[in-house]
Amino acid sequence: MRKFLFGALVAMTTLSAQAQTADPVVMTINGKQVTRGEFEYSFRKNGSVEGAVEKKTVKEYVPMFINYKLKVEAAEAARLDTLSSFKKEFLTYRDMQLTPYMVDSAYIDSVAHVVFENTLKQTGGKDLIRPAHILIRVPQSAKDAEVAKAKALADSLCALIAGGADFADLAQRFSNEPGTARNGGLLPLIGPGALPKEYEEVVYALQVGETAKAPVKTEYGFFIIKLTERRPFKNFADWKEEIYEILKKQNIEEISAEAKIKKMVEASNGRLTRETVLDSVMNAHIEGNPSLRWLIQEYHDGLLLYEISKRDVWDVAAADSVGQEKWYKAHKKQYAWTEPRFKGYVIHAMNEDQLKKVTKLLKKAKDESWRDIVKEEFNKDTVRVSVSGPYLCKKGENSYVDHYVFGVDKPVKPYRRFKVSGVVGKKLKQPKSYRDVKAVLLPDFQSEKEKQWVEGLRQRFPFSVNEAEIDKIKD
């Protein structure tokens, strides 16, 4: 590995060597030993997961794991681990796993106290309350008759509640405030100043469980108000857990860890950096936590595997049109259609003349230059023509194609403000070239190229398996 990885993964390398007596070697790949712990971690996580698409036995998983490690070796040989993009992404993930070990409870406690004191000032000694309400909205421009109608409804709802009707049910049915209506009119726990003055005066005078006898008129309309909860806000101990939970949702643990790291770096007078601090954290915690070691190693290897596969297989295969054509010709039956497809465009226009002209243009077109012509001649000042596609679709996938190509006897609706529609293209019984089935062909072609690539890696890098140790691992 490069110098960078010795800095980032020194604990894994060192501890792996130290632990070999306790953690036997199950295979060696290009001179690097893989312990039973690492292999079994990977197998339990990826090979034997309940509900996996294809659950593997230990014996079946061995060649898959070897191939995985060989790809990582190829990536390191290509020095992909020295790329700045790789370093940045890997360290970002690694640090996410390590920051929980730097959480500063004293920092969090101090922030929680500040939150409590600020809230205490804002409440002015008043309780926190949780109201529920039904809003009968009245526009500010409403005429007297409209206001009277809204008040009559609010009064009738108050009467129903007084007679025993369910407040939450009425809120869901009649409240003009959808956000609270869905929850039966219930608001979150709030303090003074969060509500209109008229509303607040009434709700603070209620007892828990009590509903105001009359609707309250505000600038928004009429509120029918119920008090569901009241809690004094005086003692930090009574609110500590809830404040902590709120802070956790705001990532206070990560913030405290970053503050602690920053403090250590500043106190070192240049001797430490953020990464050297986290290297030390990893060294301190990784020995007694092999799962952490393998998790970080797995992400490191996974990033490299993706980069080398993309560079040496997926992108190469995707750009190999000659190879795709040969693959198609050799496997034509595999990509045969059971029903015809339409290959072409759907056109929408403001009138028949425009539709005919664009249809003629598309029929003669040999490249994508028609798009510029349509833009210049038809859509320069305003959009008069819309061309979508190219499509390759079967019956049932596009209503316009169904109507104009497959003869579905069902009228099509005008597209937006356009008046007429049509299609340009051909109905194909079977694919004419690999391009017509590329969406399903390319993954197969890439898979074949990957098999060939892996066979080459197996020749390029030496490996061996300790079958006796593998046999000791249970499926």
> So what's the architecture of 126-231 in CATH?
Roll (3.10)
The confidence score (pLDDT) of residue 342 equals 97
- The residues spanned by each domain of the chain are 1-123+237-336+438-475, 126-231, 337-429
Among 237, 135, 238, which residue's Cα sits nearest to residue 189?
238
pLDDT at 48: 57
Write out the DSSP string of 149-205. Answer: HHHHHHHHHHHHHHTT--HHHHHHHH-S-HHHHTTTTBPPPB-TTSS-HHHHHHHTT
> For the chain, how long is the longest CA-to-CA vector?
91
In the chain (475 residues long), the average pLDDT of successive 10-residue segments reads 34 38 89 94 77 74 96 97 95 92 95 94 91 95 94 96 96 95 94 93 96 96 96 93 95 94 92 92 87 92 96 97 97 96 96 96 92 93 94 95 93 90 96 95 97 97 96 90
Give the span between the Cα atoms of 169 and 146, in whole angstroms: 24
Give the global pTM.
0.70
pLDDT for 113 equals 96
Given a contact cutoff of 8 angstroms between Cβ atoms, the answer to whether 337 and 430 are in contact is: yes
Phi, psi (deg, nearest 5) at residue 426 = -135, 150
The span from the first CA to the last CA of the chain, in angstroms, equals 32
Residue 406: how many other CB atoms lie within 10 Å? 17
pLDDT at 49: 53
